[in-house]
């Protein structure tokens, strides 16, 4: 009997989701401020380590918003849950909560089908560009361009490019590849109604690649489980 198909009895974590979401937002902000205001040195290997860390924290923003879409950041406080979801999406390239929320639930209702906004052609590039075309709107780019030019009055443009723009793009690639493309590509067993697969069990790799969303069949089977509890389900 497979654990993934059985109800998981979770210990109470009443405010743990809020604390974890707050930590992600704080670490993202702290890392960004360090990158924006410290002198940029492209010959220092620590600069590239900082870019990778900031990329991972950008991914954490979206994962926080994703959990909020399932009501697991603050399950006892719907308004607080929505606040974390909206805030995380705004910081992640000015995304819209009201637009992404129904789209994500459409993905869960009919995964890897023509009615799934996350699904695309078998080709990686064609699928990725369909994904981008659906989720990135012209008004987001416009708002970000305005904010970029306003911020450049006080912050060096190279710093914003290296520590905000590049990590956000890398994070988008990370989310797409590990959270959408790998789990849903190819053929699936007819009995697999979620049309999703999971990576091999490796909690460190699962966290580093996409905050445990490599355990994707488990997520689809039990979407009410927050990201930091997925290893227990796996």
pLDDT value at position 234?
77
Give the pLDDT of residue 7: 38
| 114-140 pLDDT, tens digit each | 899 999 999 999 999 999 988 888 889
Is 8 within 8 Å of 222 (Cβ atoms)? Answer: yes
Name the pTM for this structure: 0.90
Question: What is the per-residue pLDDT across 13-39, written as a single tens digit (0 to 9) for each?
Answer: 568 999 999 999 999 999 999 999 989
Residue 101 near residue 136, CB atoms below 8 Å: no
pLDDT tens-place string over residues 92-109: 989 999 999 999 999 999
**CB contact set of 229 (below 8 Å; sequence gap of 6+):** 8, 10, 13
pLDDT in tens, 33-57: 999 998 999 999 999 999 999 999 9
pLDDT average, residue stretch 72-96: 94
For residue 124, what are its two tokens?
């990686």
Q: In 3D, which of 62, 63, 69, 59 has the Cα closest to residue 108?
A: 69
Residue 147 CB neighbours (<10 A): 13
Say whether pLDDT at 141 is over 70.
Answer: yes
Closest alpha carbon to 134 in 120, 154, 150, 148: 120
- Residue 203 structure tokens: 């909690």
pLDDT of res. 138 = 87
Percent of residues in the chain assigned helix, strand, coil, to nearest 5: 65, 0, 35
**Residue 192 — pLDDT band, cuts 50, 70, 90?**
confident
């Amino acid at each position: 009997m497979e654990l993934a198909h059985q109800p998981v009895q979770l210990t109470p974590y009443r405010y743990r989701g809020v604390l974890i979401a707050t930590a992600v937002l704080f670490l993202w902000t702290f890392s960004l401020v360090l990158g924006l205001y410290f002198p940029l040195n492209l010959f220092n290997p620590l600069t590239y380590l900082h870019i990778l860390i900031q990329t991972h924290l950008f991914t954490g923003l979206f994962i926080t918003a994703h959990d909020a879409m399932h009501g697991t950041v603050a399950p006892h406080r719907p308004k607080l849950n929505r606040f974390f979801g909206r805030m995380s999406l705004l910081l992640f390239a000015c995304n819209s909560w009201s637009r992404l929320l129904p789209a994500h639930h459409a993905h869960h209702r009919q995964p890897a089908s023509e009615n799934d906004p996350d699904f695309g052609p078998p080709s990686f590039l064609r699928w990725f560009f369909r994904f981008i075309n659906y989720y990135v709107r012209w008004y987001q780019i416009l708002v970000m361009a305005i904010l970029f030019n306003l911020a450049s009055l006080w912050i060096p443009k190279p710093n914003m490019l290296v520590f905000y723009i590049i990590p956000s793009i890398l994070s988008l690639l990370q989310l797409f590849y590990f959270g959408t493309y790998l789990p849903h590509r190819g053929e699936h067993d007819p009995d697999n109604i979620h049309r999703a697969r999971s990576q091999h069990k490796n909690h460190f790799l699962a966290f580093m690649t996409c905050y445990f969303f490599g355990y994707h069949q488990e997520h689809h089977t039990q979407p009410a489980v927050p990201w930091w509890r997925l290893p227990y389900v796996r």
